[in-house]
Amino acid sequence: MTEDEPAIFAEGLAKSYRGKVAVADVSLRVERGETFGILGTNGAGKTTTVEMLAGLRKPDHGTVRILGLDPRGDRRRVRQVLGVQLQHAHLHNALRVKELIGLYRSFYRSPRSTAELLEMVDLREQAGIVFEKLSGGQQQRLSIALALAGRPRVVILDELTTGLDPKARRRMWAMVERLQQEGVSILLVSHAMEEVERLCDRVALIDGGRVIALGTPRGIVAGAGEETLDDAFVALTGREPEDIG
Amino acid sequence: MTTAIDGGRPGARSMLTLVGCEAKMVVRDTAGLVVPIGLPLLILLTSASGAGDDVIVNGRTALDLYVLPLLLAMVMGAIGIINMPSFLAYYRRSGILRRLGVTPASPLMVLFAQAVVSLVQAAVGIALALFVAVVFFDARPPVDVGAALGVLALAMAAMYGTGMIVAALAPTPNSAVAIGLVGFLGIGAIGGMFGGREALPPALAEVGGWLPVGATVDALGAAWAGTAVDAPPLIGLAAAILVGTVTAVAFFRWE
């Protein structure tokens, strides 16, 4: 049964590539209905962590559970309830927006309607355009729509608003808030402090492949004795905000 | 919120949608259609007129016994050995498979959809070549239609098998395209694609007869003539299927 299982549970995750440690030790727990942020610099281990949580990579050590299910061992069930937006959108170049949405909808038992998905990411006017003719921001929004196509209960969003203009960014935030109202559990990987402070209930700060701080955005700021999440990040990691990515 | 999680696998409708999407990709990539459909027509136009004059056996001419089998072998070879590995390379390189990996779709669904679409492509290429040959060059149908159909099915599988060897052993996605092209031209060359095998050194001609293009030409030629299809070409085609399957299972990686 999955009644009391957290949305995402990870314990002692570790992953090395050819002897180089990407993730040393990451444990986290995303409760149902919670929005949980992961912050970290480039090379901190965020992407590898996300890939292990999504079941794309097998951890060297540690355990992952999505609603109590093993994303690799119980792939079929996990894929119906977990939506994942990967950092770089890789889709069929020659297919139109509505065709791609139709394709991804077809994978799921009770998908959202095409009209609803187009509306959620503001791509109604681009429905007939082929993927390779979309702007970078539009491609990213489409990628987000596809992650939501199956009406997932748990969503992993990797760099949700990176590369989006301010208007599109606010639109995506409104979309996340709508998911929150629907009770969807969300893991948000980000380097935008403002975004994390606004949307996330709790945040894990990852550095050097480890979780170095975990708590509410406000709690992390207070714990570091700083005024803003930006300053707290610098104080905790010793890195300038420019390094963040 | 209910807690029961249904592990539904995408069904037949999803499969149809995927096939439709693959077909749209193929149709919109017009360059990919040139080799399997355009090239055989070109060869037909340049070599058919002289080949249809003298009856060799059972009312069938060199056009029926040699040119047509070669054209059909080329259509299937181009699709199986060049297009199939390129498609897999594109999917691997672009990360589309990685994106599909986080959905309920499986890589086998993608492979199946591609196989369906490329079979349709092969059928269109074959039908077109036959149509032009019959209408404009007085080509005649095979004496043994059943044998011809059987050889076509076996040959198509052998071409896919060869393509899977290329896809499985190519070190990088880009090299798969190059190896596929060189492999197709090489197997074709010693299979009679650029002139009869009798002009080749005997050892090379012998090898060419066992490999998919030469074997297809021999077996289809026999079906057209209505004579018994010899065992060697059939064994050669079956071997390509077997080696391709084993190689793919052992070495092919989706990422």
Predicted pLDDT of residue B17: 94
- Tell me the per-residue pLDDT of A172-182, one tens digit each, with 9 for 90 and over: 999 999 999 99
Give the pLDDT band (50/70/90) at residue B196: confident
Does A245 score more than 70 pLDDT? no
Q: Which residues of A touch chain B, with CB atoms under 8 Å apart?
A: 1-3, 54-56, 67, 69, 74, 76-77, 79-82, 84, 86, 88-95, 99, 102-104, 106-109, 130, 146, 150, 153, 183
What span, in angstroms and rounded, lies between the C-alpha atoms of B164 and B245? 7
- Tell me the per-residue pLDDT of A185-215, one tens digit each, with 9 for 90 and over: 999 998 888 899 999 999 999 999 999 999 9
Predicted pLDDT of residue A163: 81
What span, in angstroms and rounded, lies between the C-alpha atoms of A118 and A111? 13
Q: A95, B21: Cβ pair inside 8 Å?
A: yes
Predicted pLDDT of residue A241: 58
Q: Which amino acid is at A187?
A: L
**Contacts of residue A183 in chain B, CB cutoff 8 Å?**
1
What span, in angstroms and rounded, lies between the C-alpha atoms of A221 and A76? 40
Higher pLDDT among residues B252 and B73, named by residue:
B73
What span, in angstroms and rounded, lies between the C-alpha atoms of B38 and B125? 8
Higher pLDDT among residues A121 and B89, named by residue:
A121
3-state secondary structure of A27: strand
Do A180 and A155 contact (CB within 8 A), yes or no?
A: no
Predicted pLDDT of residue A244: 47
What span, in angstroms and rounded, lies between the C-alpha atoms of B70 and A228? 74
- How close A14 comes to chain B (CA, Å)? 21
Residue A91 contacts by C-beta under 8 Å, 6 or more apart in sequence? Answer: A100, A131, A139, A142, A143, A146, B96, B99
Helices (H), chain A: 46-53, 75-81, 97-106, 114-120, 136-148, 166-181, 193-199, 217-223, 229-237
Q: State ipTM.
A: 0.88
Does B176 score more than 70 pLDDT? yes
- Tell me the per-residue pLDDT of A123-138, one tens digit each, with 9 for 90 and over: 999 999 999 999 988 9
What span, in angstroms and rounded, lies between the C-alpha atoms of B72 and B125? 8
Give the pLDDT band (50/70/90) at residue B7: low
| Angle between helices B84-94 and B173-189 in degrees, nearest 10 | 170
Q: A79, B94: Cβ pair inside 8 Å?
A: no
Sequence-ordered strand ranges (E) for chain B:
55-57, 60-61
How do beta strands A8-17 and A20-30 pair? Answer: antiparallel
What span, in angstroms and rounded, lies between the C-alpha atoms of A16 and A28? 19
Interface test with A, best of B99, B100, B106, B109 (most A CBs within 10 A): B99
Phi, psi of B87, rounded to the nearest 5 degrees: -60, -45
Do B6 and B13 contact (CB within 8 A), yes or no?
A: no
Does B215 score more than 60 pLDDT? yes
DSSP string, B166-188: HHHH-SSHHHHHHHHHHHHHHHH
Predicted pLDDT of residue A87: 80
What is the mean predicted confidence (pLDDT) over B205-229?
A: 94
- Tell me the per-residue pLDDT of A96-109, one tens digit each, with 9 for 90 and over: 999 999 999 999 98
Arithmetic mean of pLDDT over chain B: 88
Predicted pLDDT of residue A101: 97
Does B2 score more than 60 pLDDT? no
Q: Does B105 touch chain A (CB under 8 A)?
A: yes
What span, in angstroms and rounded, lies between the C-alpha atoms of A11 and A6? 12
Closest residue, chain A, to B94 (C-alpha): A90
